[in-house]
Structures are given as structure tokens and as C-alpha cells.
Structure 1
Amino acid sequence: MKLEVPHYIRVPASVGNVGPGFDALGLALQFHLTVFVEPASEWQVTVEGESVEDLAADETNRVVQMARLAAERWKVQLPPLRVEIFNEIPVQRGLGGSGASALAGFALASLFRRAQTQTQDYLNLAAEVEGHLDNVAASLLGGLVACYYASDGRLYALSGRVPRPVHVLSLWPPWKMETAKMRRVLPETYPRDVVVRQLQRVTAILAYWQEHDDVPPKDFFYDEVHQPYRLEKMPEVRRVIDLASSMGLPALLSGAGPAVAVLTTDAAAATALLERLARERTYRSWSWRFVRVDRRGLVVRPYRPLMKKRLLEAIQTSRPVTDTKVPAA
């Protein structure tokens, strides 16, 4: 098949391991990896935006590599393409950048399938590439997503309710952290009482948001499975979570870190936290975004030049910042 018209692919950032939902709960955030795809006589790849120094501007880019993997699995042929990548997701910070680029690549390959690509197709490939689904499933479906690996090998991603007033303040340092490295610090087994408490908190979060439009109490998001072990390696990240918690704000490690996600409906509370952190020299180099939950997930659409212009303008005005003033929610 040929690409008859240009398309754009947009994939949201995500918080994995939401609170006690280790490898189970993901939350999509309203900043994105955006890819414009056009027919070309030879492969051309350009990259702009966040962490551009870490993203290859050639055919070794992860988006292209994942597109080729998906094309191989789905038995489709990829022609040469012009691929323009505009990235808003910091690399190796625990905000779903790896999963987003994989999804973007799968979506690119799907443009050349005769059959419509189903959710299960994306999940199967994501499990093969990422090894866990919480980030990818949230970026794929949008909102809050619960993941389940059935004993028969089938993968499930189920959407949960998140009230519209809920915002996420995501904060991250200038340094990176590899997920694989952070997995190695986790124990192989856990006591029964720890597992029971984790299950209680996960079900409490899901049930709370069925009936309430605010953020659950901070204790609902407490984790005993991965955060204590990972935060031992990241004391300045632990300080952010502890400070937010002392101010009554639910705060959690995003994915394997080092990013922190703070959930709130109150922009003033987010500003107060940022102002407190700004008093300490360590955090003056940190970046942050205060965003809504992304409810659309993966978007793949054809575009015309005017639409592309508007999308790029929106990307240019959506930059991570380091000052302490949060706009009203």
C-alpha cells in the first residue's frame, strides 16, 4: 500500500505504576510525542523538542525502528517516508517516552495495513517490546487504565474513571534513570500483608473515583512494592514526594522515576509546592508541567497544511517550565 495523504500521529505521555498499581495502573498526561508522516522518495527523519540530543535524527530513531518491527510482524511493506518528530516527553525520566515512541512506530506501520489495527494488536507488540503495559496502555487508550496479563496469555487494558477536575503536576530533574536498572533493586518476593495492603489501596482508588470528583486521600497512593526501594537510590526525589505529602498532596514516583507525579484539583496548591522547592538550590534545575489527564490516547489522522500549522503552534506554546507559577486549573 502507498500513503496517499500525509498523516499525523500523537501519543500522550504517561505515569506508570500509579500509586500502588505497580505494573497495573497507568495514567495518560496531556503532553505528547507528535509525528508527521509524508510520502517521500527516500527516508528522511527530523527531530525537534524535548531531549532532542537523545533522539536519533535518522532511520535508527526508535519510532522508525518500531515501525519496522510492527511491519515485519504484520507482514506489510514500508515505503520511504518523511518522518518529522516533535517530542514533548523527556527521555528516561519515567513519563512513558519509550512506550510513546513504540506506539508511534506501531501506528506508523498500521497506516499500511489493509486490516484495521485493533487494541489487542498494539498491546501484543507493546508487551513484546516494553515488557509491561501500564505506560503503553494509558498512552494508547487515554485516561486511567488498568492492565491484566491473563493466564492464557491474553492481555487486557481496561479504562477507569478519572474526574475532569483532576490535574497532574509532573516534575523531573535534569538527570536520567534507566528502568532496567531500577527493576534490579526490587525484591523477588513480598510478604502477604504487603500484597494485601497494595490490593486494598488499588481497589480503593478505583472505587473512590466512581463516586467522587476530587483526588483520593494521599494514603490511597502509598506504595510498598517499588517506591521504597527505588527512592533509596534517589534521595532528592524522595524529598519531593515527602514534601508534597506533608502539604496534603498525593505524590508518587512516575514509572521507575526520577519524575514525580502530584495529583491535585488545586493550582494554588501546586504553586505552593513549587515555591517551597524553589527555596532549595537542588530543585532550581528541575522542570515541570501542570496538565490535565489526556482522555483521547493515541490519535492517528490525515492532515492538511493548515492543521499541521495549528498543531505545531500548540506544541511551541506547550513547553516545560522552571518558574513557580501554575496557571489556574
Structure 2
Amino acid sequence: MYRITVPATTANLGPGYDVLGMALSQYSVFECELSDEIVIELDGLEKEKLTIENNLVINCMNKLFEKIGKYPSGYHIKITNGVPLARGMGSSATAIIGGLLSANALIDFPLSKDAILELATEIEGHPDNVAPALLGNLIVSTKIDNGEIVYKSITPFDELMCVLFIPDYEISTSSSRGVVPKSFEIRDAIHNMSHLTLMIMGFMTGDTNIISKTMNDVIHEPYRKSLILGFDELKKSALDAGAFGFALSGAGSTVIAFCDKADVERVSESLQETRNMLGIAGKVKKIEPCRNGATCEKID
């Protein structure tokens, strides 16, 4: 039997729209072994929303079997979901990576990590969430013209902490993308390119002053925040409490504050107070970045 553990992710981090993502220390677990028949168990967070029919994990397993041309006669897989659905925490990326790694293990690991990443990107459409889900850390990634996935991993600095407010309401990626304009002024593109470049340098060096000045997006957040209850109030409360950055997590509805470990309790309490004042149901959660990415271990 194999146990595959895959982290949640947060994508974009403000100006890194569709090119930047970071793994978070919250996980879904996939336990699989060969069997005489196909048996699928669903468990964990929001399991009532999961279905065996058209299940993304199983679809991705079949995609890998088809690619390799090798199908097991049967298998038993238990999917324990640990990532909220449709909240901007990479639940689909977690499912994709979990399914591909499970299938890869069941047929004796024919694909390398880079090949897994390529197939995951083909399924997801872009690598910003699947790359950190697979590899961990903060990942800058893109798909170039010949189809190759080019990426660079940045290890988060030791003092970095994340405080998330995860609302109870969902926002689908398609509806969130629907409010983003199809074209932009050149000045907006220049703004995001310059801010993203400097922000990445801040994460590489641990320069929180640079991050605080450059985690500012004009491409997607000004449009998407209209879908997020209390976005401006939550942002102000986090920054006032000591966070050096604040952003929409992926497509939402989750928002994420970045702070030092010394400030994490104060930022968490401030977000909790603000969401209580606004009357928004949800959970405030302190999460460290995940530096290891997905793991696969053989268990007795």
C-alpha cells in the first residue's frame, strides 16, 4: 500500500496572476493498493460534496494509465480530503496531483516528477497550483511555446507565516475568472511585471519591506474582490495588525495574510475580530508554508 500526501496551495499572491503559487501545510491524503476490483472510499473534509461519479482523482488516475498504456486489474483507493472545495486553496490541484501520484505508484513509477508536472498542467491548464502542490515551496512557473514547463522553486524564509480567512461560501474559478477583463492597458501590465519581479526578490531574500510595497495587483484583484465579502476591511485589519502582505488566495473566497511568526497571533486575532464584526461565517487559520511538497511512502 502507498500513502500519498499532497499539500493545499495559494496562488497568485497578488501580482503573480497565473504564474506564482505556494504550498501550504494543509493536506489531502490518498491511500492506494492493488486489488482484484476497483474500490473507492471518500472521507475527510466536505466529503458529502464528493462523488465517485466523475471524480477528478479517478479521472486523473485513468489519464495516467491511458498515457502509459498499462492498467491494473483493480485497485483500492481511500481519498481523505483535507482541502476546502472552491475556496481558492488548490483543491483541484491537490486532487490532480493525488490521482497522478497514486496511479504512478500502482504501476511501478513509470513517470518522473517533471513528467507528472507536465501531465498535471495538461489537465489543469496552467501550472501555478499543480507545481507547488507537487514540489512544495513557492514556485514561479510558466508553459513555454514548445509545451515545456519552466519553473523555479523558492524556499520560503524561516519566519514566514500565513493567516487565512476561509469563508463558508464558495466561489468557482470559472465565475471568478468571468469578472476579470480580457485586455488591459499597457501601464497595468508594466505595474504587475515590476511589482511581481520585486516581490519575488523579496521572498528570495526575506525582505518583508519589499514584499509589503509590491504585493499589489491591478490585473485581477480589483475586479474579483467585489465577489469577496469584506475584502477591504479584512485587508486593513491584517495590515494594521502587522501583516506585510495580503491577497486573495487563488480565485477566492479565501483571503490570505503574510506575516512574521512574531506577529501571527495578533494578525489572526485581528482577522477573527473583523470577520465577527462583519458577520461573515468562516474560519481563521494559521498555516506555515509547506517546503516538501507531495510525498509518496510505502506502508505495511
TM-score range, shorter chain: over 0.9
> What's the CA shift for 1:106?
0.7
> What's the CA shift for 1:213?
6.3
Structure 1 segment 225-304 matched on structure 2, within 5 A: 225-249=219-243, 250-265=245-260, 266-283=263-280, 285-304=281-300
CA-to-aligned-CA distance 1:153-192 (integer Å, 9 cap, x gap) = 2111210131021111121111111101111211111111
Structure 1 segment 1-329 matched on structure 2, within 5 A: 6-56=1-51, 58=52, 60-113=54-107, 116-212=110-206, 214=208, 216-249=210-243, 250-265=245-260, 266-283=263-280, 285-304=281-300
Structure 1 residues 238 and 74, CA, compared in 2 at 3 Å: closer, same or farther? farther
Could you tell me the percent identity over the aligned residues? 24
TM-score by length of 1: 0.84
- Could you list the runs of 5+ residues in structure 2 that have no partner in the other structure? none
Letter in 2 for 1:20: P
Letter in 1 for 2:294: L
> What's the CA shift for 1:31?
0.6
Letter in 2 for 1:155: I
> What's the CA shift for 1:121?
1.5
> What's the CA shift for 1:248?
4.4
Structure 1 residues 275 and 175, CA, compared in 2 at 3 Å: closer, same or farther? closer
**What is the Cα-based RMSD across aligned positions, in Å?**
1.9
In structure 1, what is the Cα distance between the partners aligned to 2:209 and 2:287? 15
Contact 2:241 2:267 in 1 (8 A): no
> What's the CA shift for 1:271?
3.0
Structure 1 residues 233 and 279, CA, compared in 2 at 3 Å: closer, same or farther? closer
Runs of 4+ more than 6 Å apart: none
Contact 1:20 1:202 in 2 (8 A): yes
Contact 1:26 1:145 in 2 (8 A): yes
In structure 2, what is the Cα distance between the partners aligned to 1:219 and 1:248? 14
TM-score by length of 2: 0.92
CA-to-aligned-CA distance 1:284-303 (integer Å, 9 cap, x gap) = x2113211110111111101
Contact 1:161 1:206 in 2 (8 A): no
Contact 1:10 1:298 in 2 (8 A): yes
> What's the CA shift for 1:278?
4.7
In structure 1, what is the Cα distance between the partners aligned to 2:109 and 2:277? 55
Contact 2:5 2:294 in 1 (8 A): yes
